[in-house]
Structure 1
Amino acid sequence: MAEFIPSRQVQSLPANYFTSMDHRIDSVVKQGIDVIHLHTGSPDQPTPKPIIQAMNQAAQLHENQGYPPAGGKLSLKKAISEFYMREYGVSVDPETEVTVFDGATVAISALPQAMLNPGDVMLTTDPGYPLYFVCPRLAGAETYGIPVRAEDDFLPDYKTIPEKVLKKAHLLMLNYPNNPTGAIATKDFFADTVRFSKEHHIPVVHDFAYAAFGFDGNRPLSFLQTPGSKEQGIEVYTLSKTYNMAGFRVGFAVGNASIIRALSQFHDIDHSDVPSAIQDGVAAALLGPQQSVQELCALYERRRNILVSSFRAIGWDVRAPKGSFFCWFKVPEGYTSESFADALLERAHVAVAPGAGFGAHGDQFVRAGLLESEERLKEAAERIKASGILNETPVQN
C-alpha cells in the first residue's frame, strides 16, 4: 500500500496526550486487571429522559429532516438567550450574539483559526486544557501559558506576562471552573480580565464547560456577568457536562458580535451544523426544569467529599477542588506526575491523568475525575493504601 506524506501542518501536531494515556491504561486492562478509571473526563450519568424524549419527537418532524440552518435554528438561539438571562442575568441578541456548533471542541479548535494570524500568540493558563496548547498551531500561531499556582487559587496574574509576548498576543483563552485544577473564578479576577483585555485590545474567550458545577455553595460565575465583558469577548458553553449530552456533540457561544461572526463564518465552511432534532432537544434542556442539573452537581460534590476524605485518611494530603468534576492532587515528594501515575496504575490499578499533560507547571500534580461511583472512589483509596506507595521514598533514576 502506498504511503502518503501528510501536510507540514499535520506533521507539526503532537500526538493526542489522552490517546497515548488511554493506550497505556488499555494495556493493563487487556491483562484482565480491574482498573478504577479516575483519568477520564467522560460523564458517567445518562442524558435526562425528558431531553431524549424531546429529541425523539423532534426527529419525527419533516421540517427537521433537511439540512439545518447555518449557525443554529433561531428557536434554539432564542432559547439560549432566555437561558442566559434566567441563569446569569445577561442579555444576548439571539441573531447577532449567539452561534451554535457541533461540540465545544470545535469552537476551541476554530477560534484560533478565526482570530489569529501566523506568528500571533494565544494566552492561556499553565496548567490548562491540552487542546489550548495545540489548536493555535492550526493557525500558524503559538500559545503562551501564564503560570498559575495553588497559592493564587490557580488564577493568572497578567502582570507576569513578558512584554515581548504581550506584543504578539491577540487572543486570551480562559476556563473556569477549571480543567484540570477545579479552580473557580472570582468577580475581581474577571473584572481584572476585562481591564487587561481593554488595555491591550486582546479578545477573551471563556470556556464555560463546567458552568453547572460549583461546590460548597459557590455558584460559578459567567464571564459575561462582568461589566464590559461582552464588549471584550465571548463565552463557550457545552451541553456535554451540564446535561450529560456528550454523545450528541453540541455547544454554543455567546457574546461579542464580531467574534461570533468570525466563528460562525469559519464553522460554516469547516463543519456541518448540529442536526435540527438535537437542537430542539437542547432547547428543551435549557428551558425545561433544572432539577437534573442540581442533582448532578450534588452528586459530584458528594463524590468529591468522599474521594478527598478517603485520600486524606490514608495519608495523602490532597486539596479539595471548588468546582468542575476534576480534582488536582499534588503528588508525594520524590515523584513526578508521570512516575506517580505509573506507580498507581501498575501497583494499585488506579488510573489518573499525569499533570505534565496539562503544561509544564502541572508536573507535580495528577488529575482525578469524579466520574466513578462512590464505592469505587473508596476502593481507589483502599487500593492505594494497600499498595504501600504513599509510605515509600521513590528511587531516583
Structure 2
Amino acid sequence: MEKYKSKRLSSLGSAIFSDMAQWKEEVRRRGVDVIDLGIGSPDRPPSERVIKAMEQAVRQPHVYGYPTSEGSPAFRAAVAKWYQHRFSVTLDPANEIVTLMGSQDGLAHLAMAITDPGDVVMVPDPGYPIYGASLVLAGVTPYFVPLREENGYLPNLADIPEQTAREAKFILLNYPSNPLSTVASKSFFEQLIAYANKYDLLVVHDLAYSEMAFDGCRPMSILEVAGAKDVAVEFHSMSKSFNMAGCRLAFMVGQPEVVKALRVLKSNIDYGVFLAVQEAGIAALEEDMEQGQSVAALYQRRRDVVIDGLAAAGWIIPKPKATMFIWACIPHGWTSRQISREILYETGVVVIPGDAFGEEGEGYIRIALVQEEERLREAVSRIAGFLRSHGKSTSA
C-alpha cells in the first residue's frame, strides 16, 4: 500500500477509464487524428443570453462575497418556476431545493448526509461511476441492481431480496439513463414509489438528461407521481441541457428532510456556487421557459448520423429515445475492453467499454455524441472500415 494513499481512494474510479486515458495519449503521440466520443461533455457553449447574464454578473461587486451553501433565493425560485413549467411539480424553494456544484457534487455527498457506515444502498448496474464511488466514500455497502436489455434496462424490483429491500436506506436510479440511454414510463415510476412506501425506502432519481429526448418523447420527473415528494429526491443538472458543464451548477429537489441533510453537509464542506454562475443558470431556465428551444434536436440529428451510418456498415443498433449517448451491443468475438482498445488503436475513435459502468455492461460500448455531424460521419466511416477489416459486419 502506498504511504499516502488510503484504501478508500484505491477503491474509487474505474481502472478502465485510466487505461482509456493512457491508450488515447499513446495514439495521439503517434500523430493520429483522435475523434473523442468518450466523455459526455457538451461540445458547444451555452446560449448568448446565458453568456451575457454571466458577463454582466461578474461585474457586480456583491457576487464576490461568499454565496450561501443552499443556493441563492433567486436561483432556487427559478428552479421552482421551471419545475412547475416543465413537469407541473410544485416545489418550495425554501425547503425543497438545494443548489449544487454539478449533480456529481450532490451525488458524491448524498450518502454521507443520510446514511451511516455499514448501511445498504441499492445502485444500478450498469450505472454512472459516481453512484458506486459515493458509497465507498460513505462506507456504505452497495447492492447492485442489474439492468438488462431483456427487461428494457429497468430493474426487476421483484428480484431484489426482501431482506435487502428492508435494510436498504435508498435506491438510486437514472432515467433517461447514462449509459443505457433508456427512458422509464410513468407506470414504472408509480411501481417504484409504491415499492419505496412498502419498504420505507428513499428513492434517489438522477434526471440529468430530461431535456435530451427524441422523436416526441418527453421524459417525466418522478415527482409527478402522487406522493413521490414524501419518499423521493431528484437531481437535475445545467450541464447537458444548457451546455453549462464547465459552470458546475445543478440542484437536488424533493423530500425536505433529505434536502436539509444535504444542505447541512454541504455547509460544512463549501460555501456554494459562485453567484455569477447562478445568475447564468437563472437566465438559462428563463430562456427555456420562454422559448423552449431544447438541445434535443441537435442530438437527435447526431444520433441518426451514427446509428444510420453504422447500420449501413452492418452494425444494427436500436435508436435510443434520449440522452447524448448510444449504448451499443458489440459484435460477436470481442469483449467490451478489447473492441474499445482496438477501435481506438486502429481508427483513432474513442469509445468507452461497457464494463466501465459495472459488470452488467460487458458486451456493450458507450458512444458519446459530442462532436459535430461531419466528425461523427468520419468516426462512423473509420469504424465501418474497422468492422470490414475484422470481418465483423453484424451485431450480437
TM-score range, shorter chain: over 0.9
Letter in 2 for 1:345: L
- Structure 1 residue matching 2:158: 3-state secondary structure: helix
Give the Å deviation of 1:163.
Answer: 3.1
Alignment match, 1:225:
224
Output aligned runs, 1:314-333, within 5 Å. Answer: 314-333=313-332
Alignment match, 2:244:
245
Contact 1:212 1:293 in 2 (8 A): no
- Mapped to 2, the partners of 1:393 and 1:75 lie a distance apart of 55
Q: Normalising to structure 2: TM-score of the pair?
A: 0.94
1:260 aligns with 2:240: no
- Mapped to 1, the partners of 2:246 and 2:12 lie a distance apart of 25
- Mapped to 1, the partners of 2:72 and 2:15 lie a distance apart of 33
Contact 1:48 1:292 in 2 (8 A): no
- Structure 2 residue matching 1:99: 3-state secondary structure: strand
- Mapped to 2, the partners of 1:387 and 1:9 lie a distance apart of 39
- Mapped to 2, the partners of 1:19 and 1:292 lie a distance apart of 41
Letter in 1 for 2:378: E
Contact 1:120 1:141 in 2 (8 A): yes
1:26-56, CA deviations, whole angstroms, 9 ceiling, x for partnerless residues? Answer: 2211211012211121100111111111111
1:47 aligns with 2:46: yes
Output aligned runs, 1:114-263, within 5 Å. Answer: 114-263=113-262
Contact 2:189 2:222 in 1 (8 A): yes
Contact 2:202 2:231 in 1 (8 A): yes
- Mapped to 1, the partners of 2:376 and 2:383 lie a distance apart of 11
Give the Å deviation of 1:6.
Answer: 3.2
Give the Å deviation of 1:167.
Answer: 3.6
1:46-98, CA deviations, whole angstroms, 9 ceiling, x for partnerless residues? Answer: 11111111111112222222111231111111111111101110000000001
Alignment match, 1:36:
35
Alignment match, 1:20:
19
- Mapped to 2, the partners of 1:223 and 1:16 lie a distance apart of 33
- Structure 2 residue matching 1:288: 3-state secondary structure: helix
Give the Å deviation of 1:292.
Answer: 7.7
1:176-230, CA deviations, whole angstroms, 9 ceiling, x for partnerless residues? Answer: 1100010011001100110111111111111111110111100111111111111
Alignment match, 1:382:
381
Letter in 2 for 1:78: A
Give the Å deviation of 1:159.
Answer: 0.8
Give the Å deviation of 1:7.
Answer: 3.5
Contact 1:178 1:184 in 2 (8 A): yes
- Mapped to 2, the partners of 1:49 and 1:64 lie a distance apart of 21
- Mapped to 2, the partners of 1:85 and 1:309 lie a distance apart of 37
Aligned residues: 392
1:259-287, CA deviations, whole angstroms, 9 ceiling, x for partnerless residues? Answer: 00001111111223101111111111112
Alignment match, 1:303:
302
- Mapped to 2, the partners of 1:247 and 1:101 lie a distance apart of 13
1:350 aligns with 2:349: yes
- Mapped to 1, the partners of 2:374 and 2:209 lie a distance apart of 24
- Structure 2 residue matching 1:219: 3-state secondary structure: coil
Alignment match, 1:336:
335
- Mapped to 2, the partners of 1:389 and 1:360 lie a distance apart of 28
- Mapped to 2, the partners of 1:390 and 1:171 lie a distance apart of 47
1:230-258, CA deviations, whole angstroms, 9 ceiling, x for partnerless residues? Answer: 11111111100111011111111111100
1:1-41, CA deviations, whole angstroms, 9 ceiling, x for partnerless residues? Answer: xx842334334434564343222212211211012211121
Alignment match, 1:359:
358
- Mapped to 2, the partners of 1:265 and 1:194 lie a distance apart of 26
Alignment match, 1:90:
89
Letter in 1 for 2:351: V
Letter in 1 for 2:93: P
Of 232-241 and 31-40, the range deviating more from structure 2: 31-40
- Mapped to 2, the partners of 1:4 and 1:27 lie a distance apart of 29
Give the Å deviation of 1:391.
Answer: 4.8
Of 24-33 and 246-255, the range deviating more from structure 2: 24-33
Alignment CA distance shift 1:258-1:6 (3 Å) = same
Give the Å deviation of 1:380.
Answer: 1.7
Alignment match, 2:6:
7
Contact 1:146 1:160 in 2 (8 A): no
Of 5-14 and 354-363, the range deviating more from structure 2: 5-14
- Structure 2 residue matching 1:122: 3-state secondary structure: strand
Segments of 5+ residues of structure 1 without an aligned counterpart are: none
Of 286-295 and 214-223, the range deviating more from structure 2: 286-295
Contact 2:355 2:362 in 1 (8 A): yes
Letter in 2 for 1:36: I
Letter in 2 for 1:342: R
1:308-335, CA deviations, whole angstroms, 9 ceiling, x for partnerless residues? Answer: 0100100111121110100000000111
Q: Normalising to structure 1: TM-score of the pair?
A: 0.94
Alignment CA distance shift 1:31-1:292 (3 Å) = farther
- Structure 1 residue matching 2:205: 3-state secondary structure: strand
Alignment match, 2:311:
312
- Mapped to 2, the partners of 1:103 and 1:20 lie a distance apart of 25
Segments of 5+ residues of structure 2 without an aligned counterpart are: none
Provide the aligned C-alpha RMSD in A: 1.8
Of 80-89 and 384-393, the range deviating more from structure 2: 384-393
- Mapped to 2, the partners of 1:136 and 1:17 lie a distance apart of 19
